[in-house]
C-alpha cells in the first residue's frame, strides 16, 4: 500500500471496499477498522466513535495511512467494482452546479438502483478555484469568488447518480463547485477537479454503491405518499428516485418533491420536473426559495418563498 494514501483509498486498490458515504471526509463514521489501541486517535475518530470503540482499537480507515499500522482487522467490507469512466459532457445547470455525464470506457452498462452513488478517485494535481470553461453569462456570479491557484494531494470523493440505470447507458452526476471562503482554505478539491475535467478525459471510480434506495412498490402501500426534500446538487439521488418511480415503475403513489434553492437561477432541472408534474398527476413539484429578487417574486413559477427565521413561506 502507498503510505501517502489513506487506508480507505489504499484498500480499494487491492479490490477491498469499505463502506463510506462521505467519501473519506471523516464525517460518516462507517469505514471502521480495528488496529492496535496505541495507534493515534484523530479528531474524526473521536467524533465518530465511542470511547469504548476507541479503547478497543477501532479507527476510521479514511483517517489513517498504512505506514502507521503493522496490522489491521477489517470490520465490514462491501461489494464494489472499479471502472474507468470517460467524460462525455460537462455543462453548467446553474451558476455553481454542473451536470457531468460519463460512460464506461469498457462499454459495460452498469446496473444500479436509483439513489446509488460512486466514489471518484481524484489524482494529485495543480488546480484553480475558477472554472476553466465559465460561460459569459455566468461571469458576474464568479466576480467576487477568491481566485486561487493551488496544488492538492490525491483523494476520493463520493457523488450520487442523478439518473437510474434504465434510462441511459450514461452515468449522470450533479456537482456543485465549492468555493473558498478565504486564502487559508482551499476550494473543494474533488468538485474543482472533476468539474474542470475536459470532455474526453477519463477518471477512475468505484461502485455504484446502493445504500439509499426506494422500497419496491409491491412492498409499499400505493396510497402512502413519498415525500422527498432536497437542495442544490444534493437533489441528484432524489431526481433518480422520482424518475424511477414514475417512468420505470409507473407508480401511482403520491410523490411530493420539495426542492430548496436560493434563487430561481439555482432551480436546476426545473423544466424537467415541470414536465413530469404535467404528465403524472400523482407527482407534485414544489420549489422553495430562500432568496428572491423583485423580478422573481411575480414570475408565476409557483415557488414558495421562505422568509424570516420561522421558515414559513408564502405562495407566489
- Structure confidence by residue, pLDDT tens digits, 251-277: 899 999 999 999 999 999 999 999 999
Cα 37 to the center of its chain, rounded Å: 33
CATH 3.40.50.80 domain locations along the chain = 222-315
Region(s) of the chain under CATH 2.40.30.10 = 82-209
Please state, for a pLDDT cut of 70, what percent of the chain lies above it.
88
* For residues 205-218, average pLDDT: 78
- CB neighbours (10 Å) of residue 249? 16
Provide the pLDDT confidence category of residue 192 given band limits of 50, 70 and 90: very high
Using an 8 Å Cβ cutoff, are 156 and 83 in contact? no
Q: What is the DSSP letter of 262?
A: S
| Ramachandran area for residue 100 (φ above 0: left; ψ -120 to 50: alpha; else beta) | beta
Going by pLDDT thresholds of 50, 70 and 90, the confidence category of residue 220 is low
Options 2.40.30.10, 2.40.50.100, 3.40.190.10, 2.40.37.10; which CATH number does 82-209 get? 2.40.30.10
Tell me the mean pLDDT in the region 34-40: 81
- DSSP for 121-185, please give it: EEPPEEEESS-TT--GGGGGGGTTSPP-EEEE--EEEEEEBSS-TTT-SSEEEEEE-PPPSSTTS
For residue 184, the model assigns a pLDDT of 85
pLDDT surpasses 60 at 13: yes
φ, ψ of residue 131 to 5 degrees: the values are -60, 145
CATH class of segment(s) 222-315? alpha beta
pTM, entire model: 0.80
Fold of the CATH domain 7-74 = Ubiquitin-like (UB roll) (3.10.20)
SS (H, E, C) 6-67: EHHHHHHCCCCECCCCCCCCCCCCCCEEECCCCCCCCHHHHHHCCHHHHHCCEEEHHHCEHH
Residue 54, phi then psi, degrees to nearest 5? -60, -45
Question: What is the Cα Rg of the chain in Å?
Answer: 21
pLDDT in tens, 70-108: 778 887 777 678 899 999 999 999 999 999 999 999 998
Residue 312 is placed in which grid cell?
414559513
* CA–CA dist 94, 99 (Å, integer): 9
Residue ranges of the chain assigned to CATH 3.10.20.30: 7-74
Amino acid at each position: 500500500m502507498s503510505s501517502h494514501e489513506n487506508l480507505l483509498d489504499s484498500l480499494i486498490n487491492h479490490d477491498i471496499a469499505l463502506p463510506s458515504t462521505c467519501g473519506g471526509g471523516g464525517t460518516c463514521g462507517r469505514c471502521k477498522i480495528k488496529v492496535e489501541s496505541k495507534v493515534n486517535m484523530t479528531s474524526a475518530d473521536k467524533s465518530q466513535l465511542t470511547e469504548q470503540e476507541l479503547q478497543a482499537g477501532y479507527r476510521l480507515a479514511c483517517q489513517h495511512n498504512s505506514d502507521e499500522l503493522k496490522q489491521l482487522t477489517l470490520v465490514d467490507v462491501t461489494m464494489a467494482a472499479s471502472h474507468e469512466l470517460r467524460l462525455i459532457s460537462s455543462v453548467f445547470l446553474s451558476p455553481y452546479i454542473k451536470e457531468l455525464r460519463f460512460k464506461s470506457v469498457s462499454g459495460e452498462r452498469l446496473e444500479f438502483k436509483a439513489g446509488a452513488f460512486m466514489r471518484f478517485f481524484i489524482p494529485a494535481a495543480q488546480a484553480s478555484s475558477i472554472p476553466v470553461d465559465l460561460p459569459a453569462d455566468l461571469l458576474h456570479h464568479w466576480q467576487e469568488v477568491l481566485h486561487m491557484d493551488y496544488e492538492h494531494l490525491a483523494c476520493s470523493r463520493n457523488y450520487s447518480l442523478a439518473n437510474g440505470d434504465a434510462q441511459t447507458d450514461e452515468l449522470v452526476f450533479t456537482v456543485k463547485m465549492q468555493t473558498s471562503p478565504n486564502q487559508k482554505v482551499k476550494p473543494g478539491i474533488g468538485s474543482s477537479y472533476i468539474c474542470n475535467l475536459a470532455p474526453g478525459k477519463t477518471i477512475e471510480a468505484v461502485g455504484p454503491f446502493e445504500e439509499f434506495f426506494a422500497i419496491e412498490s409491491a412492498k409499499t402501500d400505493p396510497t402512502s405518499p413519498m415525500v422527498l426534500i432536497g437542495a442544490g446538487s444534493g437533489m441528484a439521488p432524489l431526481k433518480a428516485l422520482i424518475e424511477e418511480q414514475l417512468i420505470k415503475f409507473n407508480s401511482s403513489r403520491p410523490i411530493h418533491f420539495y426542492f430548496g434553492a436560493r434563487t430561481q437561477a439555482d432551480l436546476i432541472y426545473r423544466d424537467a420536473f415541470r414536465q413530469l408534474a404535467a404528465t403524472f398527476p400523482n407527482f407534485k413539484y414544489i420549489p422553495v426559495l430562500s432568496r428572491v429578487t423583485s423580478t422573481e417574486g411575480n414570475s408565476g413559477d409557483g415557488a414558495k418563498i421562505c422568509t424570516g427565521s420561522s421558515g414559513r413561506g408564502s405562495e407566489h
